[in-house]
């Protein structure tokens, strides 16, 4: 009897494992397989139709550039990465602080928030040349463009998060004579965390866009500069290699924000049963 139950248990467990394998294969294997298939099709297309490499280099040619001179690419990736990280950090700090200030009073929020939402809509990238007039050619203006673009989604989503705390919980805090600051730190802020991270995910991609556009317009170094320089020289393989490196940087930074979100969620989850207080 017990043995029979045991075998049933193991078999269901085995079935569960094979199911997860199939699930894993489908969710990871299929998209990855499609990506690999596309790259192979691209390679074959280039070899068979003899497209000029200036127009569309084969993936193998891009790989040759990547493996042939990794030092130059890494050297150029360094300033770009630093500029992205710095502008993202500044945008996040200012954005969260400003959102906190905005949410401190209803009148301030009503006065400023619609203007910020309006700024979300307008094409801010057009201001890039203005920063060059103000700050000159170089890293400072590039970082400023990045900050300026990444800043608005940060403010908007943080402000949305700060007002999304459950009124019941806030009322409870008040009835327990918590100070404004305490209820901000212990209730409003944890409730805003998912929104802040959503804003940070948009912000990190926006900071990348800002920095790259900044480097397009004005730079003597960086991957954006390499892309512009190589494309005007007709070295399309180099352009694609630089783009591959950029995509790598983008994915790593996005992944770091995602990992930070998990970490903070777990931390706050231990301190405060999120969503389950009342």
Partner 1 sequence: MAVDTIASRAGTVLAPIGAVTPPTLRQLRPMILPVAAAGAVLAIWQMACVLAHIPPVILPPPSQIAAEFWRILPVLLHQAVPTTLDSLTAFALACALGIVLAMAITYSPLARDMLFPNLVLFQIIPKVALAPLFVVWLGISSESRVAFSAFTCFFPVVISAVVGFASADTSTLRLCKSLTASDWQSFLLVRFPYALPAIFSGMKIAMTMAVIGVIIGEFISAKAGLGFYILYASSRMDTAAIFAALFVLCMIGVTLFGAVALAERYVRQHYGRR
Contacting partner 1 within 20-39 (CB under 8 A): 26-27, 30-31, 33-35
Q: Binding mask 35-74 vs partner 1 (x if CB under 8 A, - otherwise)?
A: x------------------xxx------------------
Task: Name the nearest CA neighbour of 274 among 195, 167, 190, 192.
Answer: 190
Closest CA to 196 of 153, 134, 144, 229: 153
* Beta carbon nearer to partner 1, 57 or 161: 57
Contact between 254 and partner 1 by CB under 8 A: the answer reads yes
Cα 146 to Cα 205: distance, rounded to the nearest angstrom: 10
The residue among 96 and 228 lying less far from partner 1, judged by its C-beta, is 228
Q: Are 88 and 146 in contact (CB under 8 A)?
A: yes
Which pair of tokens denotes residue 149? 């673009």
In terms of CB distance, is 2 or 106 closer to partner 1?
106
Rounded to a whole number of angstroms, the distance between the first and last alpha carbons of the chain is 45
Which runs of consecutive H residues, i.e. helices, occur in the chain? 2-24, 30-49, 59-68, 70-103, 106-121, 128-135, 139-162, 167-175, 180-183, 189-217, 223-232, 236-271
Residues 126-155 that bind partner 1 (CB under 8 A): 126-130, 132-134
Instruction: Note whether 250 binds partner 1 by CB under 8 A.
Output: yes
Identify which of 155, 178, 187 has the alpha carbon closest to the alpha carbon of residue 271.
187
Q: Between 91 and 130, how does the x/- string for binding to partner 1 read (CB under 8 A)?
A: ----------------x--xxxxxx--x-xxxx-xxxxxx
Q: Which is nearer to partner 1, 177 or 232 (CB)?
A: 232
Residues that bind partner 1 (CB under 8 A): 26-27, 30-31, 33-35, 54-56, 107, 110-115, 118, 120-123, 125-130, 132-134, 205, 208-209, 212-213, 216-217, 223-224, 227-228, 231-232, 234, 236, 239-240, 242-243, 246-247, 250-251, 254
């Amino acid at each position: 009897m017990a043995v029979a139950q045991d075998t049933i248990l193991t078999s269901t467990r085995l079935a569960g494992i094979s199911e997860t394998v199939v699930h894993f294969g489908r969710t990871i294997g299929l998209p990855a397989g499609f990506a690999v298939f596309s790259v192979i099709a691209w390679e074959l297309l280039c070899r068979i139709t003899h497209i000029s490499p200036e127009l569309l280099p084969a993936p193998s040619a891009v790989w040759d550039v990547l493996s042939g001179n990794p030092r130059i690419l890494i050297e150029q990736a360094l300033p770009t990465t630093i500029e992205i990280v710095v502008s993202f950090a500044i945008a996040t700090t200012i954005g969260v602080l400003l959102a906190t200030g905005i949410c401190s009073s209803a009148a301030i929020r009503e006065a400023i928030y619609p203007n910020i939402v309006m700024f979300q809509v307008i094409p801010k990238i057009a201001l890039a040349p203005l920063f060059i007039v103000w700050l000159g050619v170089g890293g400072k203006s590039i970082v400023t463009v990045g900050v300026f673009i990444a800043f608005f989604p940060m403010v908007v989503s943080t402000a949305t998060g700060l007002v999304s705390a459950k009124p019941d919980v806030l009322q409870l805090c008040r009835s327990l004579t918590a100070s404004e600051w305490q209820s901000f730190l212990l209730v409003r802020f944890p409730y805003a965390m998912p929104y802040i991270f959503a804003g940070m995910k948009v912000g990190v991609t926006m900071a990348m866009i800002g920095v790259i556009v900044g480097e397009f317009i004005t730079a003597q170094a960086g991957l954006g500069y390499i892309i512009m320089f190589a494309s005007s020289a007709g070295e399309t393989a180099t352009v694609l290699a630089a783009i591959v490196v950029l995509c790598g940087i983008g994915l790593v930074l996005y992944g770091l924000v995602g990992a930070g979100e998990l970490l903070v969620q777990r931390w706050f989850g231990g301190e405060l049963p999120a969503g389950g207080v009342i």
